[in-house]
Amino acid sequence: MKGFDDKELKNIERYLDKLRIKERDQDDRKIFAEVLDKRTLITLYKLSKKYIQALGGVVSTGKEANVFYADGLVDGEEMPLAVKIYRIETSEFHKMEDYLFGDKRFDMKKISKKTIIYIWAEKEFRNLQKAYQEGVNVPRPVHYLKNILLMEFLGEDEIPSPSLFDLRKNLADFVNPKDLLEEILENVERLVVSAELVHADLSEYNILLHNGKPYFIDMGQAVLLDHPNSISFLERDLKNISRFFEKFGLKFDAGEFLSELMNKIEVER
Ligand SMILES: Nc1ncnc2c1ncn2[C@@H]1O[C@H](COP(=O)(O)OP(=O)(O)OP(=O)(O)O)[C@@H](O)[C@H]1O
Ligand SMILES: [Mg+2]
């Protein structure tokens, strides 16, 4: 480890210990130990100096990333944060390549295996930034460094807002499904027409219902409209939405909406 010997690293670990506000259970501690390899620990330590007041518990453990809660500090204001830490030793990174090649923002010729993960975090940050600026409902991006992304935490009391998948059985108790579908499509339109992005993994798993509104999360794989596969990704996204809302007796023609979107893109250009 460049610049840090074992003693310094112990200090960092102690510092991070102090950051953890609550005594976590055995499983949480195991996950911390598993994902916070030395390199990631140092990155988290650097980020924490500026943005993290207290590190909370595990929100989610996934194939590509783990998400933690943190009491954040952004521009002098307290703000709950989601800390998304991409696994460096991810087994899924080959899939990432499909979404990176063809993206003119990243020169793939010069990139090593390890760097792909860092680029992935940067890509999610930039996608979120672009979407957020265009008024799409996404968590506000805060900062990224190497394999760690900080963003607004969508939830309350450290509990993340539910996904549409979580609510599939009792969605109608929380929201009018027809209104929700409309709002999702408005957000898709803003994402595609104004931000010129396609989510490319949109489904009930990556839409959270937060304060009664749909929010798109997990934007790492989102691509620019000029990506060679963007339209087929968009079609797949729309079909996922259509399939989900069918269960609520709502008819929505993904193909028709895709054509409408294509027309609007043409007009914008
Ligand atoms: N900004 C956020 N606010 C609150 N919760 C979040 C936020 N971002 C992510 N989460 C939680 O973490 C989970 C996983 O996040 P995300 O989908 O971005 O990562 P992932 O690597 O794709 O994980 P998976 O492989 O499980 O899909 C989400 O389903 C959600 O519960
Ligand atoms: Mg996800």
Which amino acid, residue 141? Answer: P
Encoding tokens for residue 109? 């010729």
Ligand 1 center–CA 218 separation, angstroms: 6
pLDDT for the residue numbered 110 = 65
Among 16, 133, 30, residue whose Cα is nearest residue 83: 16
Mutation test residue for ligand 1: of 31, 58, 59, 120, the one with most atoms within 8 Å of CB: 59
Mean of all residue pLDDT scores within the chain: 89
pLDDT for the residue numbered 25 = 65
Decide whether any atom of ligand 1 lies within 6 Å of the 124 Cβ: no
Question: Of 25, 28, 166, 218, which is the active-site residue?
Answer: 218
Asked if residues 21 and 56 have their Cβ atoms less than 8 Å apart, the reply is: yes
CA distances from 49 to 5, 84, 124 (A): 19, 17, 22
For residue 2, pLDDT over 60 is answered with no
134 HSE (CA, 13 A, CB side): 19
Which residue(s) pair with 54 in the sheet? 71
> Model confidence over 215-253: pLDDT tens digits?
999 999 999 999 999 999 999 999 999 999 999 999 999
Integer Cα distance of 137 and 182 in angstroms: 13
Ligand with the closest atom to the CA of 220: 1
**CATH 3.30.200.20, applies to 6-88+105-156:** yes
By the 10 Å C-beta count (0-12 exposed, 13-18 middle, 19+ buried), 106 is classed as middle
- Please report where in the chains the tokens 């963003």 appear, as a residue: 151
Integer Cα distance of 70 and 84 in angstroms: 10
For residue 180, pLDDT over 60 is answered with yes
Decide whether any atom of ligand 1 lies within 6 Å of the 72 Cβ: no
For residue 1, pLDDT over 50 is answered with no
Decide whether any atom of ligand 1 lies within 6 Å of the 104 Cβ: no
Compare 153 and 19 and report the one with higher pLDDT.
153
pLDDT for the residue numbered 20 = 58
Say whether the ipTM exceeds 0.90. yes
For residue 22, pLDDT over 60 is answered with no
* Domain limits, CATH 1.10.510.10, in the chain: 161-268
Q: How far is CA 159 from the centre of its chain?
A: 16
Ligand 1 center–CA 237 separation, angstroms: 17
Q: How far is CA 75 from the centre of its chain?
A: 21
The topology under which CATH files domain 161-268 is Transferase(Phosphotransferase); domain 1 (1.10.510)
Q: Rounded mean pLDDT of 6-17?
A: 71
Asked if residues 56 and 22 have their Cβ atoms less than 8 Å apart, the reply is: yes
Q: What percent of the chain lies above the pLDDT cut of 90?
A: 65
pLDDT for the residue numbered 40 = 87
76: left (phi over 0), alpha (psi -120 to 50) or beta: left
Asked if residues 68 and 85 have their Cβ atoms less than 8 Å apart, the reply is: yes
> Model confidence over 99-149: pLDDT tens digits?
777 777 877 666 666 788 999 999 999 999 999 999 999 999 999 999 999
Compare 46 and 207 and report the one with higher pLDDT.
207
Ligand 2 center–CA 71 separation, angstroms: 22
* Domain limits, CATH 3.30.200.20, in the chain: 6-88+105-156
Ligand with the closest atom to the CA of 62: 1
C-alpha dihedral (211, 219, 226, 131), degrees to nearest 10: 40
